[in-house]
Chain A
């Protein structure tokens, strides 16, 4: 039946001819693992196309919804983490494979005549893959992609004459906006892949015109191999290894969550992904008017070197041993690439107001004062000292050992242009003599302590310069760290009163914050009603005093102390805090009025959530924001009990660990609980609290994106992962295990078949080999 169909079909469509042309290829010198990279790339390209299209079932290319649509896929769609992870890691592996394949082709001399056209197509394919990785990064509209595109398009703008046009064309206007996302989207999902697919076919046809170049050693040319099944089998082995690797990466190394794009961010200093780091780092050598040389000249030269290789290298020799010059050139280029990639990775971009310079406790007062000035005057923005700071100016970690005299250093600070007229360093001529002396003392103290002369890797200490951790992090699915919250401080009066209120079944008749009965009045804003403590006490002790026909029972058996506490609790119930947030909320505000989880006590509980609760923030970035905005009240890492005189608690509530009522191991609920505080602020219970919490959302002190980052950080402090995968479908670790078992079984079966074949050959040694 099947053969009838194949015959009918084969008469009408030349699939046999096509398959024969494709598969019946003789490989001079035989099949080899070295030839596998091309096929592997076709496989990875197929994965990219399929996972790319699959993501389009969910992804929406609008600035309002792009980020949420991606995080929804990654967290709420079963095996969505897998599809997204494959696509992210697939792109990285793709680029690596292009480089490896190009190097392999280079070493084999397979670019030489008559195979030049294949090579030219290959170089263009490399450019397309880089363009795809650049455009794809913007699509999630996260911080990493947004700022990379902001800087990348600005760099395109430095092209002489037409740069302004290119930048505006890429952005669809002057600023990064919806038009930019739309353009990057269509380039990434339609235009570039289309050209790539066409160019791949062109590249393959050009390759088959002359076939594989084969080994350079004539002795090895005797052997021949067939594409099918010999080479294809080897290809499949490499493909399988790469696939298992991709699954492992997707399962255990989460694609980075860098937080939603925030155009108002002035903490982040963007750094590109690994594939562009070498250009980024090398560009730093071209300062001022030389900048276009770095942004345009260098990439152009690199492209020309690669593209025209078959034309300036006319040496007909194929063996690497006879092409010393070519090998040396390639080696130098690779070494340069790797060096600058590593330097770029380790570099410290910029600095922030919060970066502090460490100084030993034994240092003199002058040196300590100098260290403080070094930070506050902004020197850390350009200079690195002991791993902290920027690298626009020279690293000063060893300045004391450099042999600069005190008058020289003084002059350098007051008037840098007197030493170097082209310096970018501003003059600090408004400092007093004493201040300059302190700075010089500090500088002289630096050095000989083993501090590295080159910029060090930014670690995640609180004093580090502003570089949020944008590298991928380990996946924490399903591994909730069981956090035992301590009963940290003595409970305030109102909190004690609440406990009594809840335990005495007051909620059977009264509603507080959405919970309870409605036999008696709603007490949610009892504290605003103007009742005196005495009145409330009497009401609890003997309600019939106020309302003779009241059906409320008497609670005089509680005793005075307890009744006082309940009264205090009632006074703390403020309900609506009086601020009308309706006009200020952005149009996308959901207006859900009541939280699903436990109600935060004392906060404005009738208010709505901000847009921040729908955004999954980046805790590393949140920490930087926290240090800037929240630390002064909530303490370092939310731990310290900063005094708040006049409040019932006596201190500002710590966030680490956070109140049990607010904590929730469901990240969505936890985020909502703290969102109400951050958006609308909060006045602590108490007669005259010195500090109250600002309404960061309502008063526009922080953007919704920033609030989401802070929320992610607070959750992290309490052991909850804001980006936790809620519906993994299959847990990543399990999926990887299944993958290993599947491939392991395949390997086992192959081994058994091979062993059986070997046995058969031994039994009948006269049977022909192969």
Chain B
């Protein structure tokens, strides 16, 4: 039988006169060669494939200060959602985008600026002036005017954004933070 013949050959490590039969040890060796050659072929192809789609996803773009508006144009006390144009560099794209932020003016020299992104899961929340609270419609997170969590599932207070005043204008640095965790970690 075929199987027994193979076993004989394996033990003898020599060829035989049977037509069409190749010595097992050479075949085995060739099989091993196939595996050895395939490995770098595959690895050298797979490694860049994975690297390209994984390595850029954690890149932090450089955050710059963007002008939001003249200090005088903000009214004190109540938070207001201010839209501002921001030149964004993402991958190969250089584009002007419209962003917004909650701006609270305490005085001509003191502001608080909140990111409009809820710290729970990234929805946009709104300010309820009579309740004097920020309320997020998605899952009911509630924040005070200082950004403190008053209720709901938000794990941390509202994220503040860096701001500065230059030549009578308010500038804000647009930054993005990871949602759903207690700590404020910048991701964009």
**Which residues does A use to contact B, with CB under 8 Å?**
64, 150-151, 154-155, 157-158, 164, 168-169, 171-175, 177-179, 183, 264-266, 269-270, 287-288, 291, 349-353, 373, 376-378, 381-382, 390, 392-393, 416, 423-428, 430, 465-466, 584, 586-587, 700-701, 703-704
Contacts and interface: CB of A to CB of B under 8 A. Distances in A.
Q: Would you list the 4 A-B pairs with minimal beta carbon distance, nearest first?
A: A350-B137, A426-B151, A376-B130, A266-B124
B18 interface: no
Contacts of A427: 150-151
A595 B179 CA distance: 45
Interface stretch (B5-13, B25-33, B50-58): B50-58
A256 to B, nearest CB: 21
A424 B90 contact: no
Contact of A287 (B125, B138, B142, B153): B153
A424 B176 contact: no
A179 B93 CA distance: 10
A425 B135 CA distance: 11
A154 B93 contact: no
Given A151-B121, A350-B138, A392-B139, A377 B128 contact: yes
Interface string B60-81: 0000000000000000000001
A156 B69 CA distance: 37
Nearest to B81: A266
Contacts of A704: 98
B137 A349 contact: yes
A478 B84 CA distance: 41
A143 to B, nearest CB: 13
A264 B99 contact: yes
A378 B153 contact: no
A378 B53 contact: no
Contacts, number: 136
Contacts of B150: 426-427
B67 to A, nearest CB: 12
Contact of A390 (B56, B58, B137): B137
A507 to B, nearest CB: 40
A700 B138 CA distance: 25
Contacts of A265: 124
Contact of A424 (B129, B151, B178): B151
A392 B152 contact: yes
B138 A269 contact: yes
Question: DSSP class of B's interface residues: helix, strand, loop or mixed?
Answer: loop
Interface string B104-119: 0000000000001000
B137 A466 contact: yes
A269 B137 contact: yes
A376 B176 CA distance: 30
Interface residues of B, number: 48
A264 B180 contact: no
Given A173-B59, A178-B91, A700-B83, A381 B179 contact: no
Given A151-B121, A157-B179, A350-B138, 19 more contacts: A154-B122, A157-B180, A173-B57, A173-B91, A175-B176, A178-B90, A266-B81, A349-B137, A349-B138, A351-B137, A353-B126, A376-B129, A381-B137, A424-B151, A427-B150, A428-B131, A584-B85, A700-B98, A703-B98
B188 interface: yes
Interface in B83-97: 83-85, 90-91, 93, 95-96
Contacts of B136: 381
Nearest to A289: B153
B178 to A, nearest CB: 7
Given A264-B98, A266-B116, A426-B142, A381 B57 contact: no
B57 A171 contact: yes
B179 to A, nearest CB: 7
A352 B136 CA distance: 9
Contact of B187 (A174, A350, A426): A174
A172 B133 contact: no
A173 B56 contact: yes
A757 to B, nearest CB: 56
A287 B139 CA distance: 9
B57 A390 contact: no
Contacts of A586: 85, 96, 98
